């Protein structure tokens, strides 16, 4: 059993957002994700750090499109609901691809539970907007909010030897993402299901409102 130590001011802890539980307007299918693409992620995740690429897909054939400056958040979980540490690397690329990593730790910190082997999830969320004359109109609650989610299955095999994971060979590219259209990050807390309005973000990607909660039934 993992043993969480006392809080350390120098340790890096995995944030918990429960992206798989928030209320969204549109749920994607990992076999046809519509807006996001994952590449380079090993089929099986062992102990250690694994790198992968997260990118956006061309949405010209979709009824909706990602909002300009949309926050794109992601979160890994094991089958027993333990959040697995992950983040975006400092490496930035011109082609709109974010280089990211997930790290399976023997001690996942902040929890007494071990990361269990088996099928886990990678949840990715973003903010969509309507295309003129296309699709169902996005309800007011979800406009300019995190309103789209796609959950990808992952497999964890902690003690797997020679796990197939790509390595970052260059870390000092002076490159920029495509026009800064989207922000690949994990630094914002999404809207919970009991909220009646969504979390809205300004041009700098920071929340600009406090979501209203539904009134408790008497």
Whether this model's pTM surpasses 0.85:
no
Per-residue pLDDT of 203-215, as tens digits, reads 444 566 666 666 6
Which pLDDT band holds residue 15 (cuts at 50, 70, 90)? confident
Instruction: Give mean pLDDT, residues 77-92.
Output: 91
Q: Given a cut of 90, is residue 111 above it in pLDDT?
A: no
Total length of the chain: 218
CA distance 145 to 207: 10
Residue recorded with tokens 């299918």: 29
CA distance 72 to 57: 13
CA distance 106 to 120: 16
Share of the chain above pLDDT 70, in %: 66
Per-residue pLDDT of 45-57, as tens digits, reads 999 999 999 999 9
| Cα distances (angstroms) measured from residue 40 to each of 100, 105, 159, 213 | 10, 20, 20, 39
Q: Given a cut of 70, is residue 29 above it in pLDDT?
A: yes
CATH class of 19-184: mainly beta
CA distance 55 to 148: 15
The sign one gets for the Cα dihedral 200, 146, 37, 44 is positive
Instruction: With CA atoms as reference, report the closest residue to 19 among 123, 150, 119, 144.
Output: 123
**Contacts of 151 by beta carbon, 8 Å cutoff, 6+ apart:** 20, 28, 30, 121, 122, 123, 124
């Amino acid at each position: 059993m993992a043993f969480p130590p006392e809080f350390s001011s120098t340790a890096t802890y995995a944030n918990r957002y429960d992206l798989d539980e928030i209320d969204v307007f549109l749920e994607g299918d990992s076999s046809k994700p519509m807006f996001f693409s994952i590449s380079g992620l090993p089929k099986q995740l062992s102990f250690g750090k694994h790198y992968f690429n997260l990118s956006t897909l061309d949405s010209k054939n979709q009824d909706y499109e990602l909002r300009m400056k949309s926050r794109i958040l992601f979160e890994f979980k094991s089958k027993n609901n333990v959040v697995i540490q992950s983040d975006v690397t400092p490496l930035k690329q011109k082609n709109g691809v974010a280089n990211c990593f997930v790290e399976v730790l023997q001690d996942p910190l902040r929890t007494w539970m071990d990361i269990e082997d088996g099928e886990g999830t990678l949840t990715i969320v973003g903010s969509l907007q309507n295309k003129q004359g296309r699709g169902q109109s996005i309800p007011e609650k979800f406009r300019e909010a995190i309103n789209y989610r796609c959950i990808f299955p992952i497999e964890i095999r902690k003690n797997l030897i020679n796990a197939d994971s790509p390595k970052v060979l260059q870390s000092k590219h002076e490159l920029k993402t495509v026009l800064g259209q989207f922000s690949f990050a994990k630094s914002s807390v999404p809207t919970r299901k009991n909220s009646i309005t969504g979390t809205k973000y300004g041009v700098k990607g920071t929340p600009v409102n406090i979501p209203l909660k539904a009134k408790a039934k008497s």
